[in-house]
Copies of this chain bind each other. A is one copy, B any other.
Amino acid sequence: MTIKQTLLLALSMGTFWTHAQENLDFSKSRNSINPTVNKDSVHFTIRAPQAQSIKLQGNWMTGQGAVDMQKNAEGIWKYSIATPSPDLYSYHFIVDGVKTTDPNNVYNLRDVASVSSIFFVPGETADYYMVHDVPHGTVAKRWYPSKGLHMDRRITIYTPPGYESSKEKLPVLYLLHGVGGDEEAWSTSGHAPQILDNLIAAGQVKPMIVVMPNGHTNNSAAPGESSKGYYYPEMMTPDVFNGDMETYFPEIISFVEQNYRVRKDKNSRAIAGLSMGGFHSLYISANQANTFGYVGLFSPAIMPPKDAQVAVYQNLDEKLKTQKANGLKLYWVAIGKTDFLYKNVQDYRKKLEELQLPYEYKESEGGHTWSNWRQYLTEFTPLLFK
């Protein structure tokens, strides 16, 4: 599966379609999305005869760099890179100092308060992130009632292909996002539905339901999807590490087990999360020490505030001992070598070893990135419910 490339420079920007008629944009004549992804090179172009400076910044770059694009006589700015390893990449242009998405690329992703343009380099694990002609599961945005939080809360639920027509009871993976995310993050940036569709089709993953809740308990839904309207997304909302997510997580399990055809034994439940969601997964599974057979901590933010008075954060060692004694099928920890939480995770590994709690450990290249979290999901899900 390759992205089709046809390099056309027939940019038609600046042609203003009359505003009174929408959904009818006739002004374009390109046939390919920007950038052009070839086997050996990726080409970025943008037409801007009036601009004095255009820089390109992408998440494949190391350090702080933004590179200068080069303008030709027709006012087209270009930059080419050697094709990076297969993955989903994000980038933006800086046009005379203004950070922008690529006007010739309609595909983008939001990360907290920044929107970036994106492109795929196909191949290897990245092929699992792309849509293929395999049976597809259903992705539903539902709302579950939270008595504890006094609100209905939006939740994303993936049911695998054939769920609706089968009678089989399925296992459940609860999959939690990081501090900058919401109930959409794993299905947009994380490509969880595509990963599950493809791994199930390949016979590598057992059909399972994947439940993706919102981990910010002050919010009922993702930015723009709640009655708060179109606010500016902030990351450090007051609900972070206040114990509410852990305290009220049983409501989510009850909702799922009452509304879906699922198995309700411990070894048919898994919980995993990235960063803050790894922290949540750690404490939820430790506090409900006989609820989850499988735990996955992806780049987890490990330590609660030292002055945490909330019960769910206290006596962790005792809780982990109980969790171990109750039996675990898999306790899986993953971190990138340059992740800013690397040392915290090494400290946590020492604790697990002192407690003789068996765990599997994955150390990858790179940092605290969706590239790693997609990869971890692709490696973690085949280990579940076997």
Contacts and interface: CB of A to CB of B under 8 A. Distances in A.
Contacts of A370: 22-23
A315 interface: no
A337 to B, nearest CB: 10
Contacts of A165: 259
A175 to B, nearest CB: 14
A301 B138 contact: no
Interface string A1-44: 11110110110011011111111111010111100000000000
Interface stretch (A222-230, A245-253, A325-333): A222-230
A97 B21 CA distance: 23
Given A98-B51, A115-B101, A227 B138 contact: no
Contacts of A115: 101, 103, 106, 108
Contacts of A142: 138, 164
A212 to B, nearest CB: 14
Given A6-B344, A107-B230, A368 B21 contact: yes
A359 interface: no
Interface stretch (A60-68, A284-292, A350-358, A376-384): A60-68
Nearest to A338: B20
A131 B3 contact: no
Number of copies: 2
Contacts of A100: 95, 98, 100-101, 103
A340 to B, nearest CB: 5
Interface string A231-267: 1111110000100000000000000000100000000
Contacts of A101: 100-101, 115
Contacts of A133: 151-152, 220, 227
Q: Is the interface of A mostly helix, strand, loop or mixed?
A: loop
A130 interface: yes
A363 to B, nearest CB: 15
A317 interface: no
Interface string A130-162: 111101101111110000000110100000010
Interface of A: 1-4, 6-7, 9-10, 13-14, 16-26, 28, 30-33, 46, 48-53, 57, 59, 61-64, 66, 93, 95-101, 103-108, 110-115, 118-120, 122, 130-133, 135-136, 138-143, 151-152, 154, 161, 164-165, 177-181, 185, 189, 220-221, 223-227, 229-236, 241, 259, 274-275, 279, 301-306, 338-341, 343-344, 366-370
10 contacts: A1-B343, A3-B302, A7-B236, A21-B339, A24-B178, A24-B368, A28-B234, A51-B97, A52-B52, A106-B115
Query: Which 3 pairs from chain A and chain B are nearest by CB?
Result: A20-B367, A100-B100, A16-B64
